[in-house]
Amino acid sequence: MALKPLVAALLFGLSAQPATADDTIKLYTMDCGTIEASDMASFDSEGRFAGQSNTLAVPCYLIRHSKGDLLWDAGFNQAMVGNTPPAAGGFQASMRVKLTDQLADLGLAPADIEYISLSHWHPDHSGNAGLFATSTWVVHEAEREFMFSDAMKDANGDYAALVNAKTIQFTETHDLFGDGSAVIVPTPGHTTGHSILQLTLANAGTLLFSGDLYTHAEGRKVGAIPVFNVDKEQTIQSMALFEKLLKQYKARAIIEHEKADFDVLPKFPGYLD
The residues binding Zn ion (CB under 5 A) are: 124, 212
Instruction: Provide the β-strand partners of residue 57.
Output: 34
Q: Looking at beta carbons only, is 18 or 130 nearer to Zn ion?
A: 130
Minimum CB separation of residue 77 from Zn ion in Å reads: 14
Q: Looking at beta carbons only, is 158 or 212 nearer to Zn ion?
A: 212
Minimum CB separation of residue 211 from Zn ion in Å reads: 7
CA 249 to CA 185: how far, in whole Å? 14
Neighbours of 268 (CB within 10 A): 17
Minimum CB separation of residue 56 from Zn ion in Å reads: 8
Q: Looking at beta carbons only, is 60 or 201 nearer to Zn ion?
A: 60
Q: Looking at beta carbons only, is 102 or 126 nearer to Zn ion?
A: 126
Instruction: Provide the β-strand partners of residue 59.
Output: 31
CB 229 within 8 A of CB 45: yes
Minimum CB separation of residue 203 from Zn ion in Å reads: 28
Neighbours of 11 (CB within 10 A): 8
Q: Which residues contact 61 (CB under 8 A, 6 or more apart)?
A: 27, 28, 29, 30, 71, 72, 73, 197, 209
Minimum CB separation of residue 121 from Zn ion in Å reads: 10
Minimum CB separation of residue 62 from Zn ion in Å reads: 18
Q: Looking at beta carbons only, is 78 or 200 nearer to Zn ion?
A: 78
Q: Looking at beta carbons only, is 124 or 218 nearer to Zn ion?
A: 124
CA 43 to CA 255: how far, in whole Å? 14
Please count the residues of the chain. 273
Minimum CB separation of residue 212 from Zn ion in Å reads: 4
CA 56 to CA 200: how far, in whole Å? 25
Question: To which H or E segment does residue 209 belong?
Answer: strand 205-209
Ramachandran bin of 79, using left for φ above 0, alpha for ψ from -120 to 50, beta for the remaining angles = alpha
Q: Looking at beta carbons only, is 69 or 212 nearer to Zn ion?
A: 212
Identity at 117, one-letter amino acid code: S
DSSP secondary structure letter of residue 193: T
